[in-house]
Homo-oligomer: A and B are copies of this chain.
Amino acid sequence: MSDSPGEATTRLRVQCPDRPGVVSAVFDYLYRHGANILQADQHSTSGEHPRFFLRVEYDLVNGNVPAAEVATGFGDEVARRYDMEWSVSYSSDRPRIAILGTREPNCVLDLLWRARTGELTAEIVTVLSNREILRPLADRFDVPFECLPVTRETKVEQEKQMLERLQGRVDLVVLARYMQILTPTFLDEYPEKVINIHHSFLPAFAGADPYGQAEQRGVKIIGATAHYATEDLDAGPIIEQDVLRVTHRDKRPDLIRLGRELERVVLARAVRWHVEDRVLVDDNKTVVFQ
């Protein structure tokens, strides 16, 4: 939770066991504290233990009460009663992002550019890599770059180095075609805070060389998938996917070229939605309030 909202709108995210009264309790609280609701989305799952998901974006009609105070009160008064996981952020927040990449520059450039133009309300604080290739690109955007080469022997140590570099400095890690598998140790530090782009329509073609696999199988459509990274490789909660038609003429290099468009667009959407607090994780799936 950030603390200085200023003119910004507030985003309240909630998830809890679903039960009657929960919606009413939230909106009643917000109304009593002068919230003017700009956008609100909710979702209830079905099944034995239904869960409730909510995202509200509001500004405060009465500017006297600080937004953070309203948020704190919500925790005490409402969230506790309904056993809510909740968080508040402000549209003025600029979450700090670390990009991890290896060789492919497209997704990296895309994110750097969107952050630069303000389309992505975030600050890219560093580009880390196991190679030197992306350094000039990071330099061009005046973003600190660091190369931590990884071999089988140094993997554990290098990841530790990485964690140290990031410690307390980033809110989100984006794997922009990073060609190393992160260990559970790393992932545990950033639960639901590591977004990976996989260059296939998962669960098709998980693993290595998805474009080669796609050519081999003769599919007529290729895809890309942005998901939260978990210990299960390529099996974390999917945030966004998109696809593109291909034909028998498109060989692996064509698929790679065409897929690049998908990768960067899909990754950019996922990062944007995460940054705007639009993605709530429901076990191994996501609820995305676009």
Contact = CB atoms under 8 A, between A and B. Distances in A.
Interface in A83-99: none
Interface stretch (A4-12, A124-132, A150-158, A234-242): A234-242
Contacts of A113: 109
Interface residues of A, number: 62
A28 B257 CA distance: 34
Contact of A265 (B30, B46, B261): B261
Interface in A9-48: 20-21, 23-24, 27-28, 30-32, 34-44, 46
A242 B221 contact: yes
Given A21-B31, A204-B204, A243 B217 contact: no
A49 interface: no
Interface string A232-275: 00000111111101011101000001001100010000000000
A61 interface: yes
Given A24-B27, A34-B20, A286-B248, A241 B220 contact: yes
A205 interface: yes
Contacts of A24: 24, 27-28, 30-32
Given A27-B28, A31-B24, A249-B39, A240 B217 contact: no
B20 A27 contact: no
B204 A220 contact: no
Interface of A: 20-21, 23-24, 27-28, 30-32, 34-44, 46, 61, 105, 109, 113, 117, 119, 140, 201-205, 217-221, 223, 237-243, 245, 247-249, 251, 257, 260-261, 265, 282, 284-288, 290
A218 B285 contact: yes
Contacts of A285: 217-218, 248
B23 A61 contact: no
A179 B247 CA distance: 29
30 contacts: A20-B34, A20-B36, A20-B61, A23-B31, A23-B40, A24-B24, A24-B30, A24-B31, A27-B27, A28-B28, A37-B42, A39-B44, A39-B249, A46-B251, A109-B113, A119-B257, A201-B204, A202-B219, A203-B205, A204-B204, A217-B284, A219-B238, A219-B241, A220-B241, A220-B288, A221-B223, A221-B242, A248-B282, A248-B285, A249-B290
A119 B249 CA distance: 18
A30 B27 CA distance: 12
B28 A38 contact: no
A233 to B, nearest CB: 14
A202 to B, nearest CB: 7
